[in-house]
Amino acid sequence: MSKKVRLGIIGLGAQGGMYAKFIKDGMVPNMEIGAICDIDTSKKDVVESDYPDVPFYEDYIEMMESGDVDAVVTTVPHYLHPEMGIEALKRDIHALVEKPAGVYTKQVKELNEFAQTKPEVTFGIMFNQRNNPLYKKIKEIVDSGDIGKIRRTNWIITTWWRPQPYYDQSAWRATWGGEGGGVLVNQAPHQLDLWQWICGVPESVYSKVSYGFRRNIAVEDEVTAVVDYGDGATGTFITATHDLVGTDRFEILGDKGKIVVDGSQVATVTRLKKPEQELSEEMDFEDVKKLFMGQMDTDELYTQEKIEFESSWGEQHSGVLENFAANILDGTPLLAPGSDGINGVRLANAIHLSSWTGEEVSLKDLNEEVYLEELNKHIKEEGKFETK
């Protein structure tokens, strides 16, 4: 293999086109475009104009078997990610799947299980927010035990405002059969991943979800989910696509401190001098009066640090591409192993299922057959696509 990984881009839409430009502009120094594939034959003219030395294919299998590529990225509709990932790995071609890894856990599990039979082939997922230096730092703080054991987490992420014309632009968008869901599978997968990557995978979830709440769509545009981590720790996740001004606020409360992230840009980290329970037990009533009246020096209780990073547009995506290529070339550990993709899909499935059944749903024992049955009921009701 050459010193650069030859990437085959499957799907030259907005995402695939962005990756192609990153590589062309030298933002991914250990990667080059090996070939581009799209079922839209008009994209051939785009490739000939913008990437004149790059072969174009209409069939992704033909591209994989051409000898032109060492790896592929699947910038295609969500349902196709597992299928294309498996086809690549079958041919010993490294696979980078887009988020989400799929729509339902059964198909993602098949991808993960097949990938385990090909340990010599690199399997990654485009969780570019794991390459966000702010969230990397937050994970380090949580993992180090600085804020202690997690008691509660909250993420309000409603900065996904989408007007009706966004949904009307294509027949597959915001459908059960074409896209597999709404905000949980389209806009919020990065937050579902980060939430679990940093705070841990919950044991169960109970949700209230509205479908076509403020938009003329079949899928969800408003979600409120409550998760249980066990041992009394809980979390909430709120997201929507109809909030014009939007909020992005992520809080992690531990028994020794707290992290608050605003706008995915600035984090305030509070570290208690002693565990909260000890501070509570040691205070006398005079201390409490001073605290409530603003007369106590809070430096005696905690320290605070503000964390902020500057990041140029595109660096997070291009960094995942570069890391993926580095793993292929020299074994550099992956920022986002492909097998991690099932966590976000499982949580999204469980949130849907809880809202459909009105019951709390276990993530450890999620019944994927029941979920698939319910999903197919919704696909049948749409009457636009074949069931899965």
Look at residue 239 in the predicted model and tell me its pLDDT.
Answer: 98
Domain ranges, ordered by start, for the chain: 5-126+314-337, 130-309+344-382
Amino acid in position 210: S
φ, ψ of residue 218 in degrees (nearest 5) = -90, -25
CB atoms within 10 A of CB 8: 26
Helices (H), 31-127: 43-50, 60-64, 80-90, 105-116
Name the residue among 103, 85, 106, 105 with its Cα closest to residue 94: 85
φ, ψ of residue 230 in degrees (nearest 5) = 90, 160
* Matching fold, domains 5-126+314-337 and 130-309+344-382: no
SS3 308: strand
With a cut of 70, say whether residue 1 has pLDDT above it. Answer: no
Residue that has been written with the tokens 């915001």 in this structure: 174
CA within 13 Å, CB half, 259: 30
What distance in Å separates the CA atoms of residue 335 and residue 319, rounded to the nearest whole number?
9
Name the residue among 77, 84, 21, 75 with its Cα closest to residue 47: 21
SS3 262: strand
- Read off the pLDDT of residues 246-265 as tens digits, 9 standing for 90 and up: 999 999 999 999 999 999 99
**Mean pLDDT across the chain:** 96
What is the rounded average pLDDT of the residues 288-308? 93
- Read off the pLDDT of residues 154-199 as tens digits, 9 standing for 90 and up: 999 999 999 999 999 989 999 999 999 999 999 999 999 999 999 9
CB of 257 within 8 A of CB of 302?
yes
What distance in Å separates the CA atoms of residue 46 and residue 33, rounded to the nearest whole number?
14
Residue that has been written with the tokens 């890894």 in this structure: 101
- Read off the pLDDT of residues 215-236 as tens digits, 9 standing for 90 and up: 999 999 999 999 999 999 999 9
CA within 13 Å, CB half, 265: 6
Amino acid in position 259: I
CATH T-level topology, domain 130-309+344-382: Dihydrodipicolinate Reductase; domain 2 (3.30.360)
Helix 341-357 vs helix 189-199: crossing angle, to nearest 10: 110
Look at residue 312 in the predicted model and tell me its pLDDT.
Answer: 67
CB of 248 within 8 A of CB of 138?
no
Q: Assign 3-class secondary structure to 15-30.
A: HHHHHHHHHHCCCCCC
Residue 337 burial (CB < 10 Å; 0-12/13-18/19+)? middle
What is the rounded average pLDDT of the residues 34-46? 97
What is the rounded average pLDDT of the residues 303-307? 97
Which pLDDT band holds residue 2 (cuts at 50, 70, 90)? low
What distance in Å separates the CA atoms of residue 29 and residue 40, rounded to the nearest whole number?
29
Look at residue 160 in the predicted model and tell me its pLDDT.
Answer: 97
What distance in Å separates the CA atoms of residue 108 and residue 30, rounded to the nearest whole number?
28
φ, ψ of residue 180 in degrees (nearest 5) = 90, 5
Please list, in sequence order, all residues whose beta carbon lies within 8 angstroms of the beta carbon of residue 118, skipping any fewer than 6 positions away. Answer: 89, 92
Sheet holding 56-57: strands in order across? 56-57, 31-37, 5-10, 71-74, 94-97, 123-125
Which pLDDT band holds residue 314 (cuts at 50, 70, 90)? confident
Q: Identify the CATH homologous superfamily for domain 5-126+314-337.
A: NAD(P)-binding Rossmann-like Domain (3.40.50.720)
